[in-house]
Amino acid sequence: MAAPRGPVQPAPRGDDTMRDEVAGDAPRPATRPRGRRFELLPYVLVAPVAIFIIGLAIVPALFTIIESFFKVDELDPPTRFTGLSNFVELFRNEAVTNSAVNTAFYVIVGVALSTVLGIAFAVLLQRPFRGRGVVMAILILPWALPGVVEGILWSGIFDPNAGLVNSLIATLHLGAGDGVLLGQNRLLTIGLIELVQVWQMTPLMTLLIFAALQLIPEELYEAAMVDGAGQWRRFTTITLPLARPGIAVAMVQALITTLNIFDQPYVLNGAASTGASVTMQTYFISFQNLNFGQGYALSLLIALVTVALSFLVIRFVYRKVEL
């Protein structure tokens, strides 16, 4: 027969707990880990940048999208909804279509030529040599100059009376050396303006591709040389494939810059249609004709084309490299 059980005795408690209960205080809550109090710190640090981006990029973009469907004309108030009429009028505007053709030429020639030159200069700078830092510092100057300054500088080179180009033509007995280079022939005007644009973009393209080349291990080139691969073979099988991420980024940057070209054609050729770009038409429609609705619509079209072409470049050029 089992012995009768006695009353259950409570577990012994510490002196501090006994003291708190005697004093009438509630049990102390569990202490929270110290790390949790800083959970909001990353968001606080990112908040100023996020607010800056929202205020200067997202809000104006939304405003542009909305206003592109309205007739916003200071000469014909009030503002009213017109649907797609702004876009239809843009496609009917001969000045806009001509500038779109000019811009397409700028993009095709500019991106292709600056990419080829950027790759060539980056490969030349890939191997260390004495004075490479000085060469890179001089190379970056055209990109560091503002577009307006470049336009003024090259306008002196293209000057019909005392310009460098006409002086060379006269020296080489290729002509009288007093011809007007800009504004007369459309193809020549676009080509010369694009030459200035390429002169500005190539340094940035070179630096971006050069940064990608620095990530290629030297052991790959050494192994290829041991296998008997020549310089061109090493370039096509090692350099180009492994530099594709940098080339893609450089091409997107050149694409964005060329689609939004404004300073060079405006300074070199003024408002003449022979070299006008789509961005210039946005300025003319908005601030000369005061038709802000069509200006918003044209800006929206430029943004959509930029995003679409940038996506295509990333899709077909960019490749993830794992070493």
Range of the structural domain that residue 261 is part of: 48-316
The residue among 265 and 179 whose pLDDT is bigger is 265
Expressed in angstroms, the distance from the first to the final Cα of the chain is 79
The residue among 105 and 9 whose pLDDT is bigger is 105
Mean per-residue pLDDT of the chain: 82
Residue 195 belongs to some domain of the structure? yes
List pLDDT tens digits, range 202-261. 999 999 999 999 888 888 888 888 888 888 888 888 888 888 989 999 999 999 999 999
Residue 22 belongs to some domain of the structure? no
Which among 154, 145, 143, 140 has a CA at the least distance from the CA of 193?
154
Residue 171 belongs to some domain of the structure? yes
Residue 88 belongs to a domain with what CATH number? 1.10.3720.10
Asked which of 105-119, 140-154, 159-173, 251-265 is least confident by mean pLDDT, the reply is 159-173
- Say if residue 114's pLDDT is above 90: yes
pLDDT recorded at residue 221: 87
b/e map 220-231, b = 16+ CB within 10 Å? ebeebeeeebee
Task: Indicate the pLDDT class of residue 100, thresholds 50, 70 and 90.
Answer: very high
Task: Indicate the pLDDT class of residue 312, thresholds 50, 70 and 90.
Answer: very high
How many domains would you assign to the chain?
A: 1
In the chain, the DSSP E strands lie at: 70-71, 80-81
List pLDDT tens digits, range 33-86. 554 555 788 788 888 888 888 888 888 888 888 888 988 877 777 878 888 888
78 prior amide bond cis, ω within 30: yes
Residue with tokens 């007007």: 180
C-alpha to C-alpha distance for 97 and 103, rounded to whole angstroms: 10
pLDDT recorded at residue 1: 45
Residue 86 belongs to some domain of the structure? yes
Under DSSP, is residue 308 helix (H, G, I), strand (E, B) or coil?
Answer: helix
pLDDT recorded at residue 153: 87
Q: Which residues, in sequence order, are CB contacts of 13 under 8 Å at separation 6+?
A: none
Q: Which residues, in sequence order, are CB contacts of 126 under 8 Å at separation 6+?
A: 210, 213, 214, 239
Residue 321 belongs to some domain of the structure? no
Residue 43 belongs to some domain of the structure? no
Joined tokens for residue 31: 């202490």
Residue 21 belongs to some domain of the structure? no
Which among 131, 142, 149 has a CA at the least distance from the CA of 206?
142
The residue among 291 and 38 whose pLDDT is bigger is 291
pLDDT recorded at residue 209: 92
pLDDT recorded at residue 33: 53
User: Rg (Cα) of the chain, in Å, rounded?
Assistant: 32
Joined tokens for residue 235: 């370039």
Longest dimension (CA), the chain: 132
Residue 41 belongs to some domain of the structure? no
pTM of the model: 0.77
Q: Which segment, 57-66, 121-130, 151-160, 202-211, is predicted with the most confidence on average?
A: 202-211
